[in-house]
Amino acid sequence: MEVTSLLKILSFLLLCFTAKHRPSLANAAPAAVLDSSGKELQKGVHYHIMPAIRDSGGGIGMAITHQSKRCPPDIIQKDLDGTSGIPLTFWPVNPNDTVVRLSSDLNIKFPGVTLCFQSTVWKLDSYDPFLGH
């Protein structure tokens, strides 16, 4: 009877010790986003966004889809299969990150200049919980 009780106590202490000293997953950095080659997405590098399913259109581009709203241009998917569209660069909000991570804040930069006098960067802005955006 004493041996069984001792084993239970030792098992409990071992469980407590390993749970206390195990590294927390909450503190670990999220995994990196991978490109179509399986490599980590690097900040500031040009990437073409393509559909995951072949023969379902091309990459993305900018276009004016409504004459009444010329600025900013809309982001569209190219109709022609295999066209790469325009390259984008990804910039993590955290300046220490050199790769883009899952579930992390980032800015997306479109290349070039538009006829609009607006930035070509999609970026985080303030969030209003009352309005939901």
**pLDDT value at residue 85:** 87
State the CATH number of the domain containing residue 49: 2.80.10.50
- pLDDT, position 129: 64
Domain annotation covers residue 127: no
Residue 131 lies in a domain: no
Please tell me the distance from the alpha carbon of residue 2 to that of residue 5, in angstroms, as a whole number.
Answer: 5
Q: Of the candidates 126, 44, 52, 123, which has an alpha carbon nearest to the alpha carbon of residue 87? A: 44
Domain that holds residue 21: 2-122
| Contact criterion met (CB below 8 Å) for 121 and 113 | no
In a domain, 41, yes or no: yes
Profile the chain (133 residues) by mean pLDDT over runs of 10 residues.
Answer: 51 51 64 93 93 85 79 81 87 91 90 73 66 58
**pLDDT for residue 90:** 93
Count of domains for the chain = 1
pLDDT at res. 23: 53
Is 42 within a domain? yes
